[in-house]
Amino acid sequence: DTGVSQNPRHKITKRGQNVTFRCDPISEHNRLYWYRQTLGQGPEFLTYFQNEAQLEKSRLLSDRFSAERPKGSFSTLEIQRTEQGDSAMYLCASSLGTGDEKLFFGSGTQLSVL
Amino acid sequence: RKEVEQDPGPFNVPEGATVAFNCTYSNSASQSFFWYRQDCRKEPKLLMSVYSSGNEDGRFTAQLNRASQYISLLIRDSKLSDSATYLCVVRARQGGKLIFGQGTELSVKP
């Protein structure tokens, strides 16, 4: 499968725990995005990378959220001290990074914070 | 005001109907515009880009009105398989992030 891969598919955790999600983009894609989506809403932008550089991070994102893309390939999104309000689908997407290209999304990681 | 706003929906239409979705955006300097489709419990996928001159892809027609900061999607001869959520998407600047609207749910009934 050469699409965007996200792991795990589902994550259930207790409030206060830390969680980490992984995204493997399409191999030749330079851009990588993280979005969050809750029921009945569109994807909400979190952050994006051009290769290993994090170009923008949403102002809505608290300091509990951090993302990395150390070698410009896969990326991780960590949430520290999870809260019930963090429960959502976390979507990763990648693109070529050449300008106005389309995004290819992964299937997402569904996070449930109990 | 949200950066991208869409009709709240849901839209329930019979097969064969024509349905139109509207979207407005707040940043007048926005560069690029798209419609994405999201099936239930699936990831969003690009449906079509929206060009200033308007564009058509089969039964789907997209229009952009920069003066009114308004985007539309028209679906003719609706099929059952068109049932999905349609997301209006705007890119504020060249190479920048994509901003999604809340989505409009369409349900096409036999």
List of residues 6+ apart from B30 with CB closer than 8 A: B69, B90, B91, B92, B93
One-letter amino acid at A69 equals: R
Quick one: average pLDDT of B65-88?
96
Distance between A87 CA and the closest CA of chain B, angstroms = 15
Does the beta-carbon distance from B44 to A43 stay under 8 Å? yes
Of B43, B96, B97, Cβ closest to residue A107? B43
Mean pLDDT (chain A, rounded): 93
Does the beta-carbon distance from A42 to B103 stay under 8 Å? yes
C-alpha distances in angstroms, B99 versus A43, A76, A103, B52, B86?
A: 8, 21, 12, 18, 14
C-alpha distances in angstroms, B80 versus A109, B62, B72, B84, B110?
A: 28, 20, 21, 10, 7
**With 90 as the cut, is the pLDDT of residue A97 above it?**
no
Strands B11-14 and B104-109: parallel
Task: For residue A73, give the DSSP letter.
Answer: S
Quick one: average pLDDT of A23-49?
94
Quick one: average pLDDT of B91-108?
90
- d(Cα A16, Cα A3) in Å, to the nearest integer? 32
Closest-CA residue to B90 (of A12, A80, A43, A6): A43
Contact of A46 with A35, CB cutoff 8 Å: yes
Phi and psi torsions of A32, nearest 5°: -140, 130
Does the beta-carbon distance from B100 to A44 stay under 8 Å? yes
Task: For residue A99, give the DSSP letter.
Answer: S
- Position B53 scores a pLDDT of 86
Does the beta-carbon distance from A105 to B95 stay under 8 Å? no
Does the beta-carbon distance from A42 to B97 stay under 8 Å? no
Of A40, A45, A108, Cβ closest to residue B99? A45
Test mutation, B21, B49, B64, B97, chain A, max A CBs within 10 A: B97
Contact of A106 with A2, CB cutoff 8 Å: no
Q: Comparing A110 with B30, which gets the higher pLDDT? A: A110
